[in-house]
Structure 1
Amino acid sequence: MNTAYRVWDGEQMCYYGDEGICLSIGELGSIEGKVFGWSVWLEGYGVIAHSGDGKSVLMNGTDQFQTHSRLRRIYARDIVQQEETAPGGLYGPEPFIGEVKMIDGSWCIVNEKKEECRPLFSETATNKVIGDVYQNPELLEGAK
């Protein structure tokens, strides 16, 4: 079961599991009845983001980690640079930059400009997180 989540609250990224950060997914109380959604709160502070606030986005973590420098989980909406390491690889040696999305049950790197999609998992390529679509949208604008 994948329990890695993060939330963009309109200003910053909050990671489930960071000190004091709690996440609830499911039935939330409301005045009119039952509502299903999610909320993130900081212990001792209260709710900092929720599914109904119109600005926050909940993202799943993938089962993949970047393969450059420190170990870091890759999440939906990350911008990843994938580089083939095997000579004669399927996609060639040029780096591929795109947004991480779930497509038909598989995590993929999608480059809208090139109209190309590659699997996030590769036995012969390395993945490096270079940003995310909220804090670094310019990385996708220049992705060729």
Structure 2
Amino acid sequence: MFQIPEFRVWDDRYDKMFYVNKRNPNISLEFSSNGWSLEDAKTACLITTSHRKERSALMRATDQVYTAEDGYMGDTIFEGDVVKQRTEIIAGDPFLTTDITGVVVMLEGEWVIDTGMTARPLFSEVATNEKCGNVFEHRDIWEELYDRYVQLNKESD
């Protein structure tokens, strides 16, 4: 079965994240040869476009969800999310773990958690991922990761 990909768009003008998915039918994302545009389908008003690159960002959903400490499978992890990944070196021993916190980006065809110093695959059979926020809505907290996210996206253009 074909699954419609999920996207979200950050717009500085509204200081808001817009989610584009089946649960939000009033938001419409259109792609063309000139880029993309986000519209409110209910009012037919343009919200933002890819031409406002410095003020807005389009982010794809990954195929991963975060896992809470109680085992609860949480929301989808998106590009631009800040994720803390905990890996147990010896299964069942909470004292022998390694943690990494970074921003989720697509790097060489793979979703990774990028710290600016290292990048680790987002998917792991032996690690749990905790979503800590995202670089847009929490820019004051994650300033260095925001800068890294912007740098990586400029390199991919």
Fold-level similarity (TM above 0.5): yes
- TM bucket, shorter chain: 0.7 to 0.9
For residues 53-74 of structure 1, the C-alpha deviation after alignment (integer angstroms, 9 at most, x for no partner) is 2411111111111112452111
User: Equivalent of 1:108, from 93, 104, 112?
Assistant: 112
What does residue range 48-127 of structure 1 map to in structure 2 within 5 Å?
A: 48-54=47-53, 55-68=55-68, 69-85=72-88, 87=90, 93-112=97-116, 115-127=117-129
Aligned to 2:148: none
Cα drift, residue 121 of structure 1? 0.2
Give the number of aligned pairs: 130
Match of 2:138 among 127, 136, 139: 136
Deviations 1:89-119 (A, max 9, x none): 9xx613210000111000000111xx11100
- Does the aligned pair in 2 maintain the 1:80–1:98 contact within 8 Å? yes
Higher relative contact order (CA 8 A, sep 6+): 1
Equivalent position of 1:31 in the other structure: none
8 Å Cα contact 1:86-1:125 kept in structure 2 = no
With over 3 angstroms needed to count, the CA separation of the structure-2 counterparts of 1:120 and 1:2, relative to structure 1, is: farther
In proportion to residue count, which structure has more helix? 2
- The equivalent residue for 1:37 is 35
Distance (Å, rounded) in 2 between the aligned partners of 1:19 and 1:57: 20
Give the aligned CA root-mean-square deviation in angstroms.
Answer: 2.2
Runs of 4+ in 1 over 3 A off after TM superposition: 139-142
Structure 2: runs of 5 or more not aligned: 146-157
CA contact (8 A) 2:30 2:37 kept: yes
